[in-house]
Amino acid sequence: MPRSFSIGEFADELGVHVQTVKRWCRNDDLDYTRTPGGERRIPHRELRRLAGDTRPTDRVVLYARVSSHGQKDNGDLDRQLDRLTDYAHDHGWSVENTYTDVGSGRNEDRRGLNSLLDNIQEADYGRVLVTYEDRLTRFGFSYLKRYFDCYGVTVTVIEDETDKSAQEELVDDFIKLVASFSGKRYGMRSSKKQQVVNTVESAVK
């Protein structure tokens, strides 16, 4: 879990008086949260910021994702990681960690992505490497990028061309959305719902 400090701990780390830290909090010079009991907790990133510590951009982590276990079994996940590793080494960057997921890019509750989001706050990473934007997320890439930016971490997408496997995944995601919405409207087991899904499948495939 990301580390945070009490007012006293933070003051000790910086070598300043407790009242100084309290004043910084009152003046909104420090980012902090409160516990259910009302105690201020200051994240470790604030200590790094005040100490003038910046994250080295040559310390990178890799994130790779495939949509199915079949793709993983076929080696798609390993090929992504190999490509990312080669790219990092070609640029002289040190790979500090890897995060992977098997599942849809629409799914926001991915174990690998959640671990990355948790660790990025405190770990000494300067850059996240992904092959394509939609490997990180199907929707909302710009929001995730802004989140990483807040912690001084750069997201680097190494491929410029369109990922053909991602196009196929997008079609599958679209069909699943159609099935979900039509099921809610006509009933999950209704013939009308299946007719809509079949029509969409024929149109897009």
What's the pLDDT tens digit per position in 159-178? 876 555 555 655 565 555 66
pLDDT, tens digit (0-9, with 9 covering 90-100), for 178-200: 666 676 777 777 777 677 657 75
Helix (H, G, I), strand (E, B) or coil at 89: helix
Alpha-carbon dihedral 112, 118, 120, 123, rounded to 10 degrees? -110
pLDDT in the model for residue 1: 42
- Where are the chain's structural domains? 4-51, 59-157, 164-204
CATH topology of domain 164-204: Helix Hairpins (1.10.287)
Q: Which of 3, 26, 22, 2 is nearest to 11 (CA)?
A: 22
Across the strands, what pairs with 128? 61, 155
Domain 59-157: give its CATH code. 3.40.50.1390
Q: How many CB atoms lie within 10 A of CB 86?
A: 11
DSSP state of 36: T
CA distance 60 to 184: 44
Q: Tell if the pTM clears 0.85, that is, is over it.
A: no
Once rounded to an integer, what is the mean pLDDT over residues 1-16?
Answer: 83
Alpha-carbon dihedral 8, 14, 18, 24, rounded to 10 degrees? -110
DSSP state of 47: H
CA distance 198 to 204: 10
Domain 4-51: give its CATH code. 1.10.1660.10
Averaged pLDDT of the chain: 82
Task: Judge whether 67 counts as a catalytic residue.
Answer: yes
pLDDT, tens digit (0-9, with 9 covering 90-100), for 95-146: 999 999 998 887 878 999 999 998 887 777 889 999 999 899 888 888 898 8
Active-site pick, 4, 6, 67, 142: 67
- Residue 14 tokens read as 């910086």
pLDDT in the model for residue 72: 92
